Amino acid sequence: MDRIRAAYSMESGPFFLIHSLFLLSYAFLPAAAPPPQPFTAPPALLFPKESLPTKSGYLPVHPTTGSAMFYAFYEAQQPTSRLSEVPILVWLQGGPGCSSMIGNFYELGPWRVTASSPPAGQSVEHLSLEPNPGSWNRLFGLLFLDNPIGVGFSIAATNQDIPRDQHSVAEHLFTAITAFLKLDPELNSRPIYITGESYAGKYLPSMGYYILKKNSRLPISRRVNLAGVAIGNGLTDPVTQVATHAVNAYYSGLINEAQKGELEEAQSEAVRLTRMGNWSAATDARSRVLRLLQNMTGLATLYDFSRKEPYRTEWVMKLLQSKEAKAAMRAKESIEFKECSDEVGALMHADVMKSVKPMVEFMLGSLGEGLRVLLYQGHLDLRDGVVSTEAWVRTIDWDGIESFLTSGRKVWRVKGELAGFVQKWGSLSHVVVLGAGHLVPTDQPINSQAMIEDWVLEKGLFGEGQAESFGVQDQPEL
Ligand SMILES: *[C@@H]1O[C@H](CO)[C@@H](O)[C@H](O)[C@H]1NC(C)=O
Ligand SMILES: *[C@@H]1O[C@H](CO)[C@@H](O)[C@H](O)[C@H]1NC(C)=O
């Protein structure tokens, strides 16, 4: 089981998982995770009253069959204006097929799950919830959606209802968000920023495109007030991104030249199959590239090359499996909560290598000045990191791209400390987050909060601001 967990991927995981099952005999993955621990948690203590969502439950996407999307909404903790004007961030997890409750309880939600180490001689880890000082709902409302249906607590009444492509995903998300905004007249006018991570790099441009197209045909009162899109460590233009692993790992000193050559061959095969439109085979070829890199480096996880053990997202699964937890979240008790749905993953398998770059181009070129787009990456991610993102951004077909590429990268500090780098021109912003892997808010809670707040409010480096001044000293080659 450890090997499977270590191989589990939140951006194309289920396939990786399925393949891992067949390949277990190779034992190509290090048993980096500690042995699975039994978990205990007294249910009454698990969900303190103040940790409960402001609203949660189900938004119908298919009223005739009963398919519905699970949502959990947390109102802003310290709103700075009337609630009817406070922005709302929507969060989508990747996969395809992983639950946004990972984002909620392990990354950016107001309460995060943690486990205390078992006392000597015992093997039981105690789970508990702790307030998150870097929560993204300090100034904004925060809406988690379990997307697509069939994921997390969402209900897929039939297998046919589950999306196979980005258009159906976007259609369901639009229906769900529209239903959410009708829950309360105060919600309707609030600016909406759609955010997410990893495979959501596919969902978010598709959804942004769909909303903009739909809005243009709707009366103002029925539009979704979309104000921006933020993608963390995203997979967006896979054919470009899959070709960057070898150089990235080689120039990071993680593989040698011969291994670089071997990896490049595997990448070329993924590119070839993608260009042929042999989609399923292309997805498998990408998984082979990542497995090869994993095998060459022996890392605990490609999500963060500095980690000694994988991210512990299984805590979220353990947290949400109990009857009490489901009642607290107002989720259907009969649903067995899993981090990631193999069924949804398998149905989206042929979608993985399809690019949504044209949707990003559409968003940047729309609404006169362009819909605001933020691309941010944790610097230590070997799957969908900085190099992978810059490779496709360079190729964007958009009037502003030359100005963006030639505008300087600025040093970004939070409370005087180096946090990363920001490059911005017009509606496009790019942020490198230092000291973070694939799950940026998990690794850098405070800095990720500062980033999203400044970006939404157009403050600091996202406004007219300048980089904080800093002294540069020559250093010896120690
Ligand atoms: C897709 O690629 C696989 C693997 O290379 C190959 O076996 C299969 O025949 C290809 N399918 C088509 C329709 O080309
Ligand atoms: C890589 O795979 C080979 C066999 O496929 C195995 O012998 C080797 O131990 C693996 N290396 C790592 C670091 O997992």
Closest CA to 200 of 172, 230, 174, 159: 230
- Cα four-point dihedral sign 381, 357, 101, 3: negative
Long-range CB pairs of 16-19, under 8 A, 24+ apart, other chains included: 16/287, 16/290, 16/291, 17/340, 17/342, 17/345, 18/342, 18/346, 19/284, 19/287, 19/291
Task: Specify the pLDDT at position 28.
Answer: 31
Residues 177, 184 contacting (CB under 8 angstroms): no
Catalytic residue among 161, 237, 381, 454: 381
- What CATH homologous superfamily does 43-238+314-462 map to? Alpha/Beta hydrolase fold, catalytic domain (3.40.50.1820)
Q: What is the domain partition of the chain in residue ranges?
A: 43-238+314-462
Segments of the chain with pLDDT less than 70: 1-45, 119, 123, 368, 465-478
According to DSSP, residue 408 is labeled P
Ligand 1 atom nearest to CA at 284: 4
Q: Return the best residue to mutate from 273, 275, 278, 353 for the ligand 1 pocket (most ligand atoms within 8 A of CB).
A: 278
Task: Specify the pLDDT at position 102.
Answer: 97
Beta strands in 288-409 (DSSP E): 372-378
Provide φ and ψ at 155, rounded to 5°: -110, 120
Helix and strand numbers (H, E) in the chain are 18, 13
Catalytic residue among 56, 100, 135, 198: 198
Burial label for 64, CB within 10 Å (0-12, 13-18, 19+), is exposed
What is the C-alpha separation between 371 and 208, in angstroms, rounded?
9
Task: Specify the pLDDT at position 24.
Answer: 31
Task: Specify the pLDDT at position 348.
Answer: 96
Active site residue 438: yes
What is the C-alpha separation between 342 and 345, in angstroms, rounded?
5
The ligand minimizing its distance to the Cα of 280 is 1
What is the C-alpha separation between 346 and 18, in angstroms, rounded?
9
Task: Specify the pLDDT at position 466.
Answer: 47
Active site residue 198: yes
Q: Cα–Cα–Cα angle for 143, 144, 149, nearest 5°?
A: 130
Task: Specify the pLDDT at position 63.
Answer: 82
The ligand minimizing its distance to the Cα of 300 is 2
CB of residue 24 inside a 6 A radius of ligand 2: no
**Amino acid of residue 220:** I
Provide φ and ψ at 262, rounded to 5°: -65, -40
Task: Specify the pLDDT at position 39.
Answer: 58
Can you name the residues that pair with 69 across neighbouring β-strands?
Answer: 59
Provide φ and ψ at 215, rounded to 5°: -55, -40
How many CB atoms are located within 10 Å of the residue 368 CB? 7
